[in-house]
Amino acid sequence: MRFWRASLKDTIDIKEWQNIQDTFSVVTSVGLRTIDERGEPITSVSGESRLCRELIKPSEFKNTICGKCLPTFLGGEQRVNRNLDFVCLPGLHNFVAPLTSDNGKVLGYLILGPMFFITRNPKDEYRPIAEELKIDLDELWSALLEIKVTSFYNAQSLIKLITGVAGVTLKYAYKAIRKEKELEVSSQLNKILNVLLDVAFQISNADVGSIMFFKKSGDILTIQSSKGIPLDIANATKVRLGEGISGMVAQENRPLLIDDDLSDNRIKSRLNRPKLKSAMVLPINSQNRVVGIMNLGVLRSSPVKFDTSNVRLMNKLIDLATVVINPSR
């Protein structure tokens, strides 16, 4: 069973994982890095903030301000709390998420951040740091304004999604090492779909949405996860391939952006949600075939209106998450 003692670097395709990490960072606007069990970097930093890249790293005072930007158990100076969260500068949070093998051995860690929870600290609280770095306070504040502000719940959703993807990636890697024919990940699928929808809502500011998958017969879509939709409606919804907007998108395998400017009468005739101002309907592909649909919508009372940039981001998010989809479930 030698493969259980392999390091993270020996187990996963680093180039492939770097691409997944980069995509996640682009979609979520949060920095991300992967380190081994000793705290040594496995990947380059994805989405590194200007604060770290341009203001702190070049400074001769970097070590006194940030150290290695790692928790104490990985050779740094930061203390983590019970949520594996550590603060690097006032109000700036980072999460440490373990990457484990099937037998529970920790192979490495993902570090997500920095990010602010709920709000940034007042500008003047950063004056001592600006003075220590010997930079203008306005310059430091400008860099801090670029860092994502989120809630603790949303941060946890981001962690669950990327660690879920990482966990399945490791399972596939072990499958290859062990030359196994099948990999069963369906037990994780519903959990990750719920998290995927949470993250999609965070990024798009959607009000209602769902993720639909085909039944084993392959021609009927049912809702596997939903938000903003009454449970009885979600449970009863069934859409055949080619029927309705979701069925049409599944059949044609192309995303659809719907708003008041829509001129396609073929689509207009299928619309039955007058309270929606804007919507995205996106196919979910696995192994070159459509296995499901993501629906996201905003109500007319919302200031949000989806555009093609939203569609591109959601497609990247879906691509990132499809590694956990087992088409033979």
- Alpha carbon 121 to its chain centroid, in Å, reads 25
- 62-71, 301-310, 314-323 — which is least confidently predicted? 62-71
- 56-60, 61-65, 184-188 — which is least confidently predicted? 184-188
Both 224 and 123 in one domain: the answer is no
- Is residue 134 classed as helix, strand or coil in its secondary structure? coil
- Is residue 212 classed as helix, strand or coil in its secondary structure? strand
Supply the DSSP symbol for 78: B
The answer to whether residue 200 sits within a structural domain is no
Q: Which of 174, 196, 216 is the last residue of a domain?
A: 174
The whole-number pLDDT of residue 141 equals 96
β-pair partners for 233: none
Both 42 and 130 in one domain: the answer is yes
Both 150 and 243 in one domain: the answer is no
DSSP secondary structure of 232-247: HHHHH-EEETTSHHHH
- Is residue 295 classed as helix, strand or coil in its secondary structure? strand
Mean pLDDT on 293-321: 90
Both 153 and 233 in one domain: the answer is no
259-275 per-position pLDDT tens digit: 766 545 555 445 566 67
Supply the DSSP symbol for 184: -
| Res. 258 pLDDT band, cuts 50 70 90 | confident
- 66-70, 115-119, 205-209 — which is least confidently predicted? 66-70
Distance of alpha carbon 256 from alpha carbon 303, whole angstroms: 20
Both 210 and 102 in one domain: the answer is no
| Res. 217 pLDDT band, cuts 50 70 90 | low
What percent of the chain has pLDDT above 70?
84
| Structure-model confidence comparison of residues 71 and 327, the more confident one | 71
The whole-number pLDDT of residue 104 equals 74
Both 143 and 288 in one domain: the answer is no
121-163 per-position pLDDT tens digit: 999 999 998 998 889 999 999 999 999 999 999 999 999 888 8
| Res. 45 pLDDT band, cuts 50 70 90 | very high
Structure pTM? 0.79
Both 28 and 141 in one domain: the answer is yes
Q: Please state, in angstroms and as integers, the Cα–Cα distance from residue 238 to each residue in 220, 226, 227, 285, 291, following that order.
A: 6, 14, 17, 19, 14
Distance of alpha carbon 230 from alpha carbon 328, whole angstroms: 29
CATH for 268 = 3.30.450.40
Containing domain of residue 216, as a range? 206-324
Both 162 and 34 in one domain: the answer is yes
Q: Is pLDDT at 15 greater than 70 in this prediction?
A: yes
Both 48 and 162 in one domain: the answer is yes
Long-range contacts of 38-46 (CB under 8 A, 24+ apart): 38/74, 38/75, 39/68, 39/70, 39/74, 39/75, 39/76, 42/8, 42/9, 42/14, 42/17, 42/108, 43/14, 43/17, 43/18, 44/18, 46/18, 46/21, 46/22
Q: Is pLDDT at 183 greater than 50 in this prediction?
A: no
The whole-number pLDDT of residue 204 equals 93
CATH for 121 = 3.30.450
Strand locations in 118-240 (E): 149-150, 208-214, 220-227, 238-240
Q: Is pLDDT at 120 greater than 50 in this prediction?
A: yes
Q: Does an H or E element contain 193, and which? A: helix 186-204
Q: Which residue has the tokens 């500008």?
A: 123
Q: Is pLDDT at 309 greater than 70 in this prediction?
A: yes
Strand locations in the chain (E): 32-36, 85-87, 92-100, 106-117, 149-150, 208-214, 220-227, 238-240, 256-259, 276-286, 289-299
Both 262 and 156 in one domain: the answer is no
For residue 114, say if its preceding peptide bond is cis, omega within 30 degrees of 0: yes
| Res. 112 pLDDT band, cuts 50 70 90 | very high
The whole-number pLDDT of residue 1 equals 35
Q: Which of 287, 277, 286 is nearest to 206 (CA)?
A: 277
Q: Which residue has the tokens 């990490």?
A: 21
Both 65 and 166 in one domain: the answer is yes
> Looking at the 3D structure of the chain, how many domains does it have?
2
